[in-house]
Amino acid sequence: MVHAEGKTPLALALKVSNQIPIGKGTGSSAAARLAGIALAMHFGDLQWSAERVMEEAARREGHADNVAACWLGGFAVSQWQKAPNLSPNGTPQIAGAPAGPGAGLYACKVNVKKSWPLLLVVPQEALPTDESRRVVPTGFSRFQAVANIQAAMLLAAAFAQGNKQLLAHAVQDELHQPYRASLCPLFPELNELSGKKGILGVVLSGAGPSVLLLLDPDVAARRTMQLVAAHLKARRREAELILTEIEKRGAGDAMKPLRSEAEKKKGLRTGSRIKARL
């Protein structure tokens, strides 16, 4: 990217501290791509807009949802318009090739009315995204498509209004969870808890195999966590339970102070040159 902008990249030695489970359906690949772009922006002095950053990451990732969530933070909604050289499922026609120009990304952050507790259940085994995609059909019925569009809109409304009664209905899925359940054994077992006290909904996290539980903010999260742990133990399942919530700040917010400081230094250098000439 730095080369493409006509600049000379710096040689860097990096020490990475990562808390995102890798290969577990938690968006680690999108976060890694955005981290690389952020490094290029900072050390290559690239004055890219948020839109360009997300479009570049989405081209490399093949889809926009995790990219938008990582960069914007909070509850992010995105639309990825397929470029001409992409396959019907949004991936490059040639393996390893970038998506190329023509794709458009539109994304925004929806203000969430409440702080929703979440419980991420991470199994020991990873699941490659490509393998998880292979079990999903390439075509769906009109009913399935309409049902998921309705659920997506209902989900956004539920978070925006802080309406927990809507969430259980909004997380219903027809397009990927029924097909991926065979590869993600934690999902059908934890889905048995949906509707129990403290648990509003159960969904696959990304392409799996991790499972995300939307918790009731009016019930003690630790008690719900104990319920889930006991449920897994009874079925002899081992998994890491991570109690968390929606992160309001994104990577783009973290970049703002760095860009401001870089602009200040750039301004000082420019001012010094002007003073010297005078």
- Mean predicted lDDT score pLDDT of the chain: 86
Q: What are the sequence ranges of the domains in the chain?
A: 1-110
Q: Tell me the two tokens of residue 159.
A: 């978070």
Cα–Cα nearest to 101, from 82, 116, 73: 82
Confidence of residue 270 (pLDDT cuts 50, 70, 90): very low
Q: Give the pLDDT confidence of 96-107 residue by residue, as tens digits.
A: 455 454 457 899
pTM (2 decimals)?
A: 0.82
Cβ atoms 28, 207 nearer than 8 A: no
Q: Give the pLDDT confidence of 168-224 residue by residue, as tens digits.
A: 899 999 999 999 999 999 999 999 999 999 999 999 999 999 999 999 999 999 999
Q: What one-character-per-residue DSSP string does 167-201 give?
A: HHHHT--SSSHHHHTTT-THHHHHGGGTTSTTEEE
Coil/strand/helix, residue 104: strand
